[in-house]
Structure 1
Amino acid sequence: MRSSKPVTVTLGEMQEQVEARIRSGTYASVSEVVRAGLRALEREEAAIEAVLRRKVQEALDDPGQPIPADQVFADLRAHHAGRLKVHKDGV
């Protein structure tokens, strides 16, 4: 008895990429390509999570003075206002 359930997916423009991998012999089936893609996605997500955790820890470990939230938001508003001005002026 099967432990997994068949799934139908529409690959659209990616169909040719999948077929090329099968023709090259790198993979034996569409299922193998999809499983490899999911494993790659898991690795990518794990890497991003590790980077984010490291960045958060670095921020928590930073001995510098914290920046008040109102100052951070004021700086962000000024930054975005400047970007909007540049966009509107076409510069």
Structure 2
Amino acid sequence: MSMHRKTITLTEQQDNWVKTQIESGHYGNDSEYIRDLIRRDQQAQERLTLLRNALIEGELSGEPKPLDMAAVRAAGRLRLKASS
């Protein structure tokens, strides 16, 4: 994977925060921290896309039906039993 150099500008408070994260041993340097933030943002965007797609699928699935909590509990017990 090729790397690209970027220049960013941080406030003093943000710079101190990044330095604190590095000094605490969570990251080796500024770049590691920024790359981790980007990875987390990408994952959050992917989860949001999945959620939006699930909501759209649900809306398109037809008229809602009453929730049968007894059936939900029974299905949960079956899943729990199957995973044991």
* Global fold match (TM > 0.5): yes
Q: What is aligned with 2:32?
A: 32
Q: CA deviation at 1:16?
A: 1.6
Q: What is aligned with 2:53?
A: 53
Q: Point out 4+ residue stretches in structure 1 off by more than 6 angstroms.
A: none
Q: Which amino acid aligns with 2:37?
A: G
- CA RMSD, aligned part only? 1.7
Structure 1 stretches lacking a partner, 5+ long: 65-91
* Bigger Rg, structure 1 or 2: 1
Q: Which amino acid aligns with 2:2?
A: S
Q: State, as a whole percentage, how many aligned pairs show the same letter.
A: 22
1:51-90 matched pairs, under 5 angstroms: 51-63=51-63
Q: CA deviation at 1:5?
A: 2.2
Aligned equivalents of 2:62, 2:15: Cα separation in 1 = 48
Q: CA deviation at 1:26?
A: 0.8
Structure 2 stretches lacking a partner, 5+ long: 65-84
Q: Which amino acid aligns with 1:6?
A: R
Deviations 1:12-35 (A, max 9, x none): 232121111100011000000000
Q: What is aligned with 1:77?
A: none
Size of the aligned set, in residue pairs, is: 63
TM-score by length of 2: 0.68
